[in-house]
Amino acid sequence: MKTIDVCLSPDLMHLYQVNNRTVVVVDILRATSTMVTALAHGAESILPLADLENCRKKGMMGYITSGERDGVKVEGFDKGNSPFEYMDKDIRGKKIAFTTTNGTQAIEKSKEAKEIIIGSFLNLSSVVNYLLLGENSVLIVCAGWKGRVNLEDTLFAGAVVDKLKDYLGPDCDAPLAARHLYSMAKPDMQKFLSESSHVKRLNKLNIHKDFEFCLTIDKYKILPRIKNGLIVA
């Protein structure tokens, strides 16, 4: 039987063998939500990069430079990490070089996986349906915050575990914990998350609108995946 597990922080990735698994990388606030939005609006591809300098170099080669550090847009970059910046026609057909505090690091630590897909609430059903039909066991990798566990990524993991509960057995306690938390949060995720550290951090940055948007379920029907180091729809 296929199984499902949840890695609550990239700093726990050494505990998981992923070469036979489909890995779902999730960074709800906001990297993977923004990536999904950009690809849904016609961006050709997204190149995830760990450091700023490589991003800048790609900018000189015609890429759109995107990214944040500690939630704030990088100076000199074309765009930050808000999904609302990726809804215009100007990104259609474009290549994006993307770097974030946590999201790109989670992708980097997942690179031994059999395949990597990009998850967010915005494309939840597309992710769930793909995992259901696929042959592989699953690991959901939560980007967290600088190695720490966060609630919003855990809730996404819980939503996936919940929807697949009749098909994929949990490997360990993390998927159970995530599912319990999601069952509590489900009636009002915004309220449930209002106490969370990252949401408070974002509110200080005046991006409550982003927060609301990133919790929208099934806004887009796309399944971004990583092919040859590039994220494509």
Interface residue list for its own copies (CB under 8 A)? 8-9, 11-12, 14-15, 145-151, 154, 170-174, 176-177, 180-181, 184, 195-198
Distance of CA 49 to the CA centre of its chain: 14
Taking the least distance from each CB to its own copies, the nearer of 87 and 176 is: 176
Work out how close the CB of 150 gets to its own copies at its nearest, in angstroms, rounded to a whole number: 5
Work out how close the CB of 143 gets to its own copies at its nearest, in angstroms, rounded to a whole number: 13
Taking the least distance from each CB to its own copies, the nearer of 113 and 174 is: 174
Parallel, antiparallel, or unpaired: how do β-strands 95-99 and 3-7 relate? unpaired
Taking the least distance from each CB to its own copies, the nearer of 54 and 194 is: 194
Work out how close the CB of 94 gets to its own copies at its nearest, in angstroms, rounded to a whole number: 34
Work out how close the CB of 83 gets to its own copies at its nearest, in angstroms, rounded to a whole number: 22
- Quote the CA–CA distance of 101 and 217 in Å, as a whole number: 24
Taking the least distance from each CB to its own copies, the nearer of 198 and 219 is: 198
- Quote the CA–CA distance of 107 and 31 in Å, as a whole number: 11
Work out how close the CB of 3 gets to its own copies at its nearest, in angstroms, rounded to a whole number: 11
| Residues ≥6 apart with Cβ < 8 Å to 148 | 9
Taking the least distance from each CB to its own copies, the nearer of 91 and 138 is: 138
Work out how close the CB of 204 gets to its own copies at its nearest, in angstroms, rounded to a whole number: 15
Work out how close the CB of 66 gets to its own copies at its nearest, in angstroms, rounded to a whole number: 26
Taking the least distance from each CB to its own copies, the nearer of 32 and 66 is: 32
Whether a cis peptide bond, with omega within 30° of 0, leads into 225 is no
Taking the least distance from each CB to its own copies, the nearer of 176 and 222 is: 176
